[in-house]
């Protein structure tokens, strides 16, 4: 089925490096670690982000994180993008988590800054806590939001167990726990997960358009305008104090 799907797809546009705005644009080899391409034909509206750092198994280093944040910022302004699909250009791996070799060379101040940027990235892509949990296998605690996301996904008890043990999970185990939506058997090309993700993107594509999305946002925000909590939030911001929300 996957091969049939591949043959039925229209040819996508070429991969292209992002247009940088003041951040590092290339890795040590001179090749961009993040590339983007917009699919065409019936898949128009789907944009793919390719992570391509084979020397470090797509580990999240300074350059990759900078390029990925920049790509997301640019794509957010592109009204033609309706579905975003992340994929790996490194066969057999999606992302190895944080680049601990690079982090070991950082000063304490640099680590703090980098972790803050990494948390922002995780929030941007609505990542699960799995990336943060990879670090626990090296005797570290999750530092990119894993301690907050995982209990919300699995409950406190199971989250503690996974964090404290640093246990590695298979795709099937992650699906059984609810950490991922789908687990697929690998194909000969090593890209079965990509094809499943593309199928899902194709299913989502006709359900979302920017005009409808903006209309829905407007309706939801209109419901928020007369609430006491909205006024309280603005007052708290102005008075530089924590808000006291009452749910009204």
| pLDDT tens per residue across span 186-196 | 888 888 888 88
* pLDDT higher at 168 or 61: 61
Distance between CA atoms of residues 44 and 156, nearest Å: 41
CATH entry, 131-179, from 3.90.226.20, 3.40.630.10, 3.40.50.10470, 3.40.640.10: 3.90.226.20
pLDDT level of residue 141 (50, 70, 90 thresholds): low
Would the CATH topology of 31-130+184-207 be identical to that of 209-247? no
Q: Is 209-247 in CATH node 1.10.12.10?
A: yes
CA distance 93 to 40: 26
Confidence band (pLDDT; 50, 70, 90) for 180?
A: confident
Which CATH architecture does the domain made up of 31-130+184-207 adopt? Alpha-Beta Complex (3.90)
- Exposure b/e, 207-244, CB count within 10 A at least 16 = b: eeeeeeeeeeeeeeeeeeeeeeeeeeeeeeeeeeeeee
| Secondary structure of 155-213 as H, E, C letters | CHHHHHHHHHHCCCCCHHHHHHHCCCCCCCCCCCCCCHHHHHHHHHHHHHHHHCCHHHH
Name the E strands within the chain. Answer: 16-17, 34-38, 46-51, 83-88
User: Residue 67: helix, strand or coil by DSSP?
Assistant: helix
Q: What is the pLDDT of residues 192-216, one digit of tens each?
A: 888 888 898 888 888 766 677 778 7
Q: For residue 238, give the 3-state DSSP assignment.
A: helix
The one-character DSSP state at 10 is P
Q: What was the pLDDT predicted at 52? A: 93
Cβ atoms of 36 and 50 within 8 Å: the answer is: yes
Q: Delimit the domains of the chain by residue range.
A: 31-130+184-207, 131-179, 209-247
Question: What is each CA distance from 33 to 17, 90, 206, 233, in whole angstroms?
Answer: 8, 11, 30, 40
């Amino acid at each position: 089925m996957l091969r049939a799907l591949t043959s039925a797809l229209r040819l996508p546009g070429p991969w292209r490096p992002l247009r940088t705005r003041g951040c590092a644009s290339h890795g040590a080899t001179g090749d961009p670690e993040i590339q983007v391409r917009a699919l065409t034909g019936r898949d128009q509206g789907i944009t793919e982000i390719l992570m391509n750092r084979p020397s470090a198994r797509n580990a999240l280093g300074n350059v990759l994180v900078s390029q990925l944040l920049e790509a997301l910022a640019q794509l957010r302004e592109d009204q033609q993008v309706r579905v975003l699909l992340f994929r790996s250009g490194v066969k057999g791996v999606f992302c190895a988590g944080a680049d601990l070799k690079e982090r070991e060379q950082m000063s304490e101040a640099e680590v703090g800054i980098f972790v803050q940027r990494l948390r922002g990235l995780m929030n941007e892509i609505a990542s699960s806590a799995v990336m943060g949990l990879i670090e626990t296998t090296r005797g570290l605690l999750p530092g990119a939001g894993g301690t907050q996301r995982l209990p919300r996904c699995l409950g406190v008890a199971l989250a503690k167990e996974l964090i404290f043990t640093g246990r590695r999970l298979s795709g099937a185990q992650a699906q059984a726990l609810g950490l991922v939506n789908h687990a697929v058997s690998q194909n000969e090309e090593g890209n079965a997960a990509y094809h499943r993700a593309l199928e899902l993107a194709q299913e989502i594509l006709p359900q979302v358009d920017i005009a409808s999305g903006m209309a829905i946002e407007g309706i939801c925000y209109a419901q928020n305008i007369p609430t006491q909590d909205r006024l309280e939030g603005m007052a708290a911001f102005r008075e530089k104090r924590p808000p006291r929300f009452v749910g009204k």
